[in-house]
Structure 1
């Protein structure tokens, strides 16, 4: 197995940075996390529930595909159905963690992806709400967020676009993880399938490694200018997060102590404010991207940083960012967020 490009989670290091929970009354829908059991670490239901129960009022979560638990038999196209089955098995007894699942179906199958979508929907017992493929690609090998990167130009193929149309017809959303250098492809895809809700992951992939200098104003401008046409389309949404990804270029994991939320808020402010300026709170949503980001920041600290960044906004705008926009995008029932669920069942 190829080694993961993510920072290793070190619970003992994270324990060195403790802070009080800010605005504990704010409901949260963690709209992007993974579950896995890999040689480099385990993050299953037990670890997720420990994080969501650490102080913030996290009322529901959304699982996003990461090649967990694929079937090892049968048709290649149907093997990702095993991921849905595995996640539901690991989280048996929970109905909100996750409340929804973004699964994997190979959109390169074009219109032939429809039987796969039907199988995923059946296996998901009402919880499969979207699809994501591996699409983040860059020519420079220093820019890697997946140990098995996809081929170049996947988002532009006619087969992928046909698959995206089938996805829309099935009533599912499309999550897209793409780097800033691919945002024109994301725009073209969203334009080609206007009936599909396209959710751009991790701030649209602003880069800070390889040929991309995070502190270079031209690099920042290139990201912003590429993201703006995506935001101009009414069928696009954005997830704000992913700052712990190695390709973003932050190196908090190298420090003796984990970062405090006030430091993170200041570091991330230009990107967060740009996303909000372009999409607005009704089309933007905060995400944890755990356990990927956990290699650089603790769960309580992460949400504290987002709360610091959202503090100047109205309560309605904060609710949009912390739960309402994501619930609306993925069709998650609002009643989950109407009651305090901090007493999480074991």
Structure 2
């Protein structure tokens, strides 16, 4: 696995300040099932930053789920154990937030990572992750993003091909379900068959497909949006036939998707964001249904394209034609159920 320089769109606070939407339907309960926290040389986004985005948005965010981002690893020691530091960090954020009170349960759930290619050696590591997770660990994410063309890379990672189908990886993966853990899958649309095959092999393991399945809009796919959309839609529908797979509706603010929302002199409002993202979100909802689909912020990554309040307003505009029950599922119920958050929404 190679880790390259950041490919995220830079966050520009002054630019984001040029646009602010008043919150639509501010009483609608929301569970944000995908955000990150980190402290990097070129970027800082910690609990106080997330809290400021949530509180400033005017939306009713009940709880959040932290998803691994190669942050806060242990230093030294066994490389296989280093990711336990991230689980402990995120769980600590959640414990502190709970002690402080407030309207949002930050890091109510935690998705960590471990090298599942360690096979059966991963079992004690998983048990250690559950322990340091203080009751908050819900699953793992092992990114499998790969493309042979570097210009198509929309992630900091480029993983060797075939990870999800390797015997070593699947030997480690087999230990998730017995411990009650789910799996977050992050890949490009060209790899979606891997997700379908994994779901078929492990029907008792919940799999959550990240970022609507990653349709690439950069590099060799730039200027080919219609063709990519058709290929992605067919592959996504095939994955959706597996009942143990759910999908996250978001991540569309990443450079990967090839949108230019970040290129204007002023930050976009929710109408512009909704117009750009609607075809992908509606297609994913149609394929999976509201009971297996959940809106996500993917902050701070998507913050390069729009503000937190604008993002949730855009999702609310896209879902405007849904019934009250469907909205409740898409914005809160599905995430709370899939990640076993134990909250009443």
TM-score, normalized by the shorter chain, greater than 0.5: yes
TM-score using structure 2 length: 0.95
Shift of 1:287: 0.1
Q: Counterpart of 1:340?
A: none
Q: Of 151, 155, 161, which residue of structure 2 is paired with 1:142?
A: 151
Q: Of 1, 5, 8, which residue of structure 1 is paired with 2:7?
A: 5
CA contact (8 A) 1:281 1:320 kept: yes
Q: Of 120, 123, 137, which residue of structure 2 is paired with 1:111?
A: 120
Shift of 1:218: 2.0
Q: 1:15 to 1:258 in 2, by over 3 A?
A: same
1:41 paired to 2:43: yes
Q: Counterpart of 1:341?
A: none
**SS in structure 2 at match of 1:142:** helix
Q: Counterpart of 1:314?
A: 323
In structure 1, how many angstroms separate the alpha carbons of the residues matched to 2:316 and 2:225? 27
Q: Counterpart of 1:151?
A: 160
In structure 2, how many angstroms separate the alpha carbons of the residues matched to 1:146 and 1:205? 10
- Deviating runs (4+, > 4 A) in structure 1? none
In structure 2, how many angstroms separate the alpha carbons of the residues matched to 1:190 and 1:38? 34
**SS in structure 1 at match of 2:151:** coil
In structure 1, how many angstroms separate the alpha carbons of the residues matched to 2:278 and 2:253? 14
Q: Counterpart of 1:29?
A: 31
Shift of 1:18: 1.2
**SS in structure 1 at match of 2:33:** strand
Q: CA RMSD in A?
A: 1.3
Q: Counterpart of 1:260?
A: 269
Shift of 1:60: 0.4
CA contact (8 A) 1:161 1:193 kept: no
Q: 1:283 to 1:291 in 2, by over 3 A?
A: same
Q: Counterpart of 1:210?
A: 219
CA contact (8 A) 1:131 1:173 kept: yes
**SS in structure 2 at match of 1:332:** coil
Per-residue Cα deviation, 1:239-290 (whole angstroms, up to 9, x for no partner) = 0000111111012222101111011111111111110110000000000000
Per-residue Cα deviation, 1:152-202 (whole angstroms, up to 9, x for no partner) = 111111111222211111110000011000000111011111111010000
Give runs of aligned pairs for residues 157-196 of structure 1, distance below 5 A.
157-196=166-205
CA contact (8 A) 1:203 1:238 kept: yes
In structure 1, how many angstroms separate the alpha carbons of the residues matched to 2:35 and 2:303? 11
Q: Counterpart of 1:57?
A: 60
TM-score using structure 1 length: 0.94
CA contact (8 A) 2:91 2:110 kept: no
Per-residue Cα deviation, 1:279-302 (whole angstroms, up to 9, x for no partner) = 000000000000000011100000
CA contact (8 A) 2:155 2:256 kept: no
1:270 paired to 2:272: no
In structure 2, how many angstroms separate the alpha carbons of the residues matched to 1:156 and 1:92? 36
In structure 1, how many angstroms separate the alpha carbons of the residues matched to 2:201 and 2:25? 41
CA contact (8 A) 2:94 2:108 kept: no
Q: Of 87, 90, 112, which residue of structure 1 is paired with 2:90?
A: 87
Structure 1 gaps of 5+ residues are 338-346
Q: Counterpart of 1:295?
A: 304
Q: Counterpart of 1:242?
A: 251
Structure 2 gaps of 5+ residues are 99-104
Q: Counterpart of 2:101?
A: none
The number of equivalent residue pairs is 336
**SS in structure 2 at match of 1:28:** strand
**SS in structure 1 at match of 2:221:** coil
Shift of 1:2: 4.5
**SS in structure 2 at match of 1:238:** strand
Moved more, 103-112 or 304-313: 103-112
In structure 2, how many angstroms separate the alpha carbons of the residues matched to 1:267 and 1:254? 14
In structure 2, how many angstroms separate the alpha carbons of the residues matched to 1:170 and 1:78? 18
**SS in structure 1 at match of 2:150:** coil
Q: Counterpart of 1:333?
A: 342
